[in-house]
């Protein structure tokens, strides 16, 4: 998908030429709180003057003094080219998301192998499941082929089991995914199960499911924006 470089008051962003091609995990830039509505820092209440300048957090758009908005942190969900100024609270959230973009997103794109059951069928098919490079589709390849648009996914339930008889620690062993069929109100369901015969792939499957769990949280946040 073609991209273009755009400049906003917040900084340079590399965004898709067409909005329909944007990542489903992305966030829009927030409107800035107008200067005239912000005589004091919205964190520490310090009054702004010629010495104490005001700064806007690029993630929330609120107004802060330099002390409360000094960190420059990557913000890939808004497609910023360089790290941008953020308040302490937003910087912490963005730093946590960096792990998803640096590690878990690659895990999803590399894919993992699952037994996939469609709807109420009693038959399952061994398929490689991965996220498309543009992050917009969940691609399933086996004897059959499916492409599920990420924005059509309505619910994701991660299935777990305990390591020990006491059921202390748990690990992900599968998931149930529901999605809407484009152009209709019909909801389809798929069940993904890590194969017991593929012990070498169990760790990979668990990592893929954990990454999918994180991706789902970001997807819901994007919808709630």
| Class in CATH terms, 3-107 | alpha beta
Residue 196 has pLDDT above 90, yes or no: no
Q: Identify the band that residue 41 occupies on the pLDDT scale cut at 50, 70 and 90.
A: very high
Residue 133 has pLDDT above 70, yes or no: yes
Question: Cβ atoms within 10 A of the Cβ of 77, count?
Answer: 20
Question: Cβ atoms within 10 A of the Cβ of 19, count?
Answer: 9
CA 7 from centroid of its chain's CA atoms: 24
Q: Identify the band that residue 6 occupies on the pLDDT scale cut at 50, 70 and 90.
A: very high
Residue 200 has pLDDT above 60, yes or no: no
Q: Report the pLDDT value the prediction gives residue 173, as an integer from 0 to 100.
A: 87
Q: What is the pLDDT of residues 157-178, one digit of tens each?
A: 998 886 555 555 677 889 999 9
Chain mean pLDDT for the chain? 89
The residue extents of the domains of the chain are 3-107, 111-224
Q: Identify the band that residue 78 occupies on the pLDDT scale cut at 50, 70 and 90.
A: very high
Question: Cβ atoms within 10 A of the Cβ of 61, count?
Answer: 15
Q: Report the pLDDT value the prediction gives residue 99, as an integer from 0 to 100.
A: 87
Residue 58 has pLDDT above 60, yes or no: yes
| Class in CATH terms, 111-224 | mainly beta
Same fold, 3-107 and 111-224: no
């Amino acid at each position: 998908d073609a991209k273009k470089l755009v400049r906003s008051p917040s900084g340079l962003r590399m965004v898709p030429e067409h909005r329909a091609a944007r990542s489903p995990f992305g966030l829009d830039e927030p409107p800035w709180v107008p200067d005239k509505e912000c005589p004091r820092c919205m964190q520490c209440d310090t009054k702004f003057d010629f010495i104490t300048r005001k700064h806007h957090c690029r993630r929330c758009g609120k107004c802060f003094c330099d002390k409360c908005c000094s960190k420059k942190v990557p913000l890939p969900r808004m497609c910023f080219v360089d790290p941008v100024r953020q308040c302490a609270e937003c910087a912490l959230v963005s730093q946590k998301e960096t792990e998803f973009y640096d590690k878990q997103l690659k895990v999803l794109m590399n894919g993992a192998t699952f037994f996939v059951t469609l709807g109420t069928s009693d038959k399952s098919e061994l398929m490689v499941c991965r996220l498309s490079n543009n992050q917009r589709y969940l691609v399933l390849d086996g004897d059959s082929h499916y492409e599920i648009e990420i924005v059509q996914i309505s619910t994701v339930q991660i299935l777990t089991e305990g390591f020990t008889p006491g059921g202390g620690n748990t690990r992900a062993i599968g998931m149930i995914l529901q999605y809407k069929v484009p152009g209709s109100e019909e909801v389809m369901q798929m069940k993904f199960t890590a194969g017991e015969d593929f012990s070498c792939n169990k760790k990979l499957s668990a990592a893929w499911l954990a990454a999918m769990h994180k991706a789902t949280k970001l997807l819901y946040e994007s919808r709630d924006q």
